[in-house]
Amino acid sequence: MRGSRSTSNNTWSGDWSVLHSLLPYFLEFRGRVIIAMICLILSKLASVALPLAMKYIVDVLDTTQTRVISLPLLFLLFYGFLRFSSIMLGEMRDTIFGRVTESAMRKVALNVFKHLHKLDLEFHLSRRTGGLSRDIERGTTGINFLMRFMLFNILPTLLEITMVAIILLVNYGISFALIILVSVAIYSIFSILVTDWRNQYVRTVNELDSLSSTYALDSLLNFETVKYFNNEQYEATQFDNNLAKLESARMRHRLSLVALNTGQAFIIAITITIIMLLASQHVVSGSMTLGDLVMVNAYMLQLFIPLNFLGFVYREIKRALADIEHMFILLQTSPAINDIEHAPNLHIDKGIIEFKNVNFSYKSDRQILKDISFIVPEGEKYALVGPSGSGKSTIARLLFRFYDTNSGSIMIDGQNISHVRQDSLRRVIGTVPQDTVLFNNSIYYNIAYGSPQANETEVKMAARLAHLDDFIKQLPQGYDTIVGERGLKVSGGEKQRIAIARMLLKNPAIMVFDEATSSLDSASEQAILRALREISTNKTTLVIAHRLSTIIDADGILVIRHGRLVEQGTHNELIRKGGVYARMWEIQQHQSNPTNQLIADQLDAVT
């Protein structure tokens, strides 16, 4: 059944929603979170006590010359203990909470990864795979950054500001506390506003930097084309123009940073000056000691040092929240293909495939399949033929239930495939696709992927049945040879044989071949076809073919044209009928003759 997709417009309502979605991942480790928070508070208490200890050291040194050796020593030892405790408790907090953050990152990434595999083919065809991987990577990195800076920078700073304000209020009156709170508020508001203004320059620099890198990479990848047309200077000029724009944008970005730093420094200088003037007056009047003056000054420096990074932290937290939101939007995306509630597993007895009045369209304005009905009997081999775009591969996709039909039904042994569990359906069907894609791993890994629990003997037997063993023996690393990204280090024919071996290892009850030998030479093709005939004996097989010579032994041939089933029968029956199939056969027989290329080119037009 078709589901609806959720979008960012109606799923998320701000940054708090992101934080709320993260909460369950952290509550799983309540004990660690509580201990980390206790360490955070104790660390801040030790940090706030440092200026107090310094005050007493200064006061003792200033007023009690007879106890210079004893009392200051105790205060100095206590000061050292506080500083060590502050650092040590902070390290303990990071270590204890680090496990929570790492676990949250792992579980969120795993959930998104598993969810992406549950989504339908249409979703993945309409999204860039690189974009999806970046969403996961940035999201998990965002969780780490968010927790590290919100819990270990913003929260401790707010806690410290509160403690300092209370200490100043209790000891020196409301004026000192108000100056601290007002100055911190002005500093924070200024930093946030200027950072929001600066973001336009940050985005411009990032975009131009990506543009320059992309242009350079594209130019170097097309090295031969540049040489063919003597366009080295043209490429250099274009690249320099991009670099000039980037240089200008970086200058504006740097000037905006100067504005932020200057404003922050001005606020800090004004605040410290006012505080020191007020404290100096109190010292002169005798209501404060030199130790009090030192303590107030230490608090000011202690508060504004972490606040100095507020602009950066604010910008990065906003970015982290956006990245996490994008990742959670993926989790909220509903698959278009869903199992019905309490769907049973598909039970295979005979492997009979039946299409009943199937209609299907990828988009409403173009129907692909029109009232398709046919039956593939138990253990027989049926072929789908027809011109490109007629809907042959779509039939295979519907059988796998990558899509649901618009109307009509698809049955296997009398069970509607839309009423059974998808994993049980796909477990009994094996396929060799037209466009074979391999993992960037060894040949052995790619074959064994058909049945990960298979032993080495079974894997090598599948390779022999697919006529891969001679090729593998010629390789220095044999089965351990890496095939490269998407299998680009091996030829098209070798990729198809690996795909065939992988499918044979799966040993499914129903087999689907989509142009499975299109990249093979004639000798290899005939060898593979003989092997496939042996393997597919007594197994229901559906073959999608362009070269009709590969399916003349089929028990039945289904001719698809413009999304309709126009002919059905064996090879000989269809030849005698003299219809669409017979004309296709005649044209393909002439393709090997150079004088008949014009006729060969008319294949699609005739059909």
Structural domain boundaries enclosing 532: 353-428+508-606
With respect to residue 30, please indicate whether it lies within any of the assigned structural domains: yes
- Whole-number pLDDT of residue 417: 93
CATH number at residue 162: 1.20.1560.10
The answer, yes or no, to whether residue 334 has pLDDT greater than 80, is: no
Q: Are residues 131 and 228 in the same domain?
A: yes
Cα–Cα distance for residue pair 158/303, rounded to 1 Å: 9
* pLDDT of 16 strictly over 70: no
Residues 219 and 360 both lie in one domain: no
User: Do 402 and 547 fall into the same domain?
Assistant: yes
Residues 68 and 203 both lie in one domain:
yes
Residues 402 and 533 reside in one and the same domain: yes
Q: Would 119 be classed as within a structural domain? A: yes
Question: Would you say residue 481 lies in a domain?
Answer: no
The DSSP output letter for 309 is T
pLDDT score, position 13:
47
Residue 359, pLDDT > 90, answer: yes
Res. 225: pLDDT tops 60: yes
pLDDT at 575: 92
Q: Does 159 share its domain with 234?
A: yes
Q: Is the pLDDT of residue 241 over 50?
A: yes
Q: What is the pLDDT of residue 596?
A: 42
Give residue 317's identity as a one-letter amino acid code: I
Tell me the C-alpha distance between 54 and 247, whole Å. 48
* Domain's final residue, options 282, 297, 332: 332
End-to-end CA distance of the chain: 34
Average pLDDT for 318-323: 76
Domain termination residue (choose one: 302, 332, 362): 332
Task: Phi first, then psi: give them for residue 229, nearest 5 degrees.
Answer: -105, 10
Residue 199 has pLDDT above 90, yes or no: no
Q: Global pTM?
A: 0.62
The pLDDT assigned to 195 comes to 82
pLDDT tens for residues 339-352? Answer: 888 889 999 888 89
| 538 torsion bin: left (phi>0), alpha (psi -120 to 50), beta (else) | left
Does an H or E element contain 541, and which?
Answer: strand 540-544
Residue after which a domain boundary falls, among 332, 362, 378: 332
Residues 133 and 170 in one domain: yes
- CA atoms of 268 and 276, how far apart (whole Å): 12
Residues 315 and 423 in one domain: no
What integer is the mean pLDDT of 203-210? 80
pLDDT score, position 72: 63
pLDDT at position 354 is 94
**CA 607, CA 176: separation in Å to the nearest integer?**
91
Q: Which residue has the higher pLDDT, 606 or 60?
A: 60
pLDDT score recorded for residue 352? 92
- pLDDT for 81 equals 86
Provide the residue type at 575 as one letter: I
Tell me if 499 sits within 8 A of 432, measured CB to CB.
Answer: yes
- Distance of alpha carbon 275 from the chain centroid: 51
Q: Is residue 475 part of a domain?
A: no
Q: How do residues 451-462 score in pLDDT, each as one tens digit?
A: 889 899 999 988
Q: Which CATH number fits the domain that encloses residue 515?
A: 3.40.50.300
In the chain, what percentage of residues exceed pLDDT 90? 12
Are 419 and 283 contained in the same domain?
A: no
Quick check: is 328 in a domain?
yes
Q: State the alpha helices, DSSP H only, in 483-590.
A: 492-506, 522-535, 571-577, 580-590
For residue 333, pLDDT beyond 90 = no
Number of domains in the chain: 2
pLDDT band at residue 138 using 50, 70 and 90 as cut-offs: confident
- Angstrom distance (rounded) from CA 118 to CA 126: 15
Query: Per-residue pLDDT averaged across 280-296, rounded?
Result: 84
What's the pLDDT tens digit per position in 242-276?
A: 889 889 988 988 898 888 888 888 888 888 888 88
496 within some domain: no
Return the sign of the alpha-carbon dihedral for residues 456, 462, 464, 470.
Answer: negative
Tell me, yes or no, whether 96 and 196 share the same domain: yes
Residues 31 and 175 reside in one and the same domain: yes
Q: Which amino acid is at 328?
A: F
How many angstroms separate the CA atoms of 86 and 72, rounded?
A: 21
pLDDT in tens, 58-82: 877 765 444 445 556 777 788 888 8
Residue 129 pLDDT greater than 60, yes or no: no
Token pair for residue 239? 């690249």
- Classify residue 457: in a domain, yes or no: no
Residue 220, beta-bridge partner list: none
Q: Which pLDDT score is estimated for 1?
A: 41
Report the chain's mean pLDDT, rounded to a whole number.
80
Verify that 270 and 377 share a domain, yes or no: no
Token pair recorded at residue 535: 């393997």
Residue 468 in any domain: the answer is no
Give the pLDDT of residue 603. 43
The 10s digit of each residue's pLDDT in 74-126 is 777 888 888 888 888 888 888 888 778 788 788 887 888 877 777 767 676 66
Per-residue model confidence as pLDDT tens digits over 140-195 = 777 877 777 777 677 787 888 888 888 888 888 888 888 888 888 898 888 888 88
**Distance separating alpha carbons of residues 477 and 495, to the nearest angstrom:** 17
- 419 pLDDT tier (thresholds 50, 70, 90): very high
Question: For position 568, what pLDDT does the model report?
Answer: 92
One-letter amino acid at 4 equals: S
Question: From the CA atom positions of the chain, what is the Rg in Å?
Answer: 36
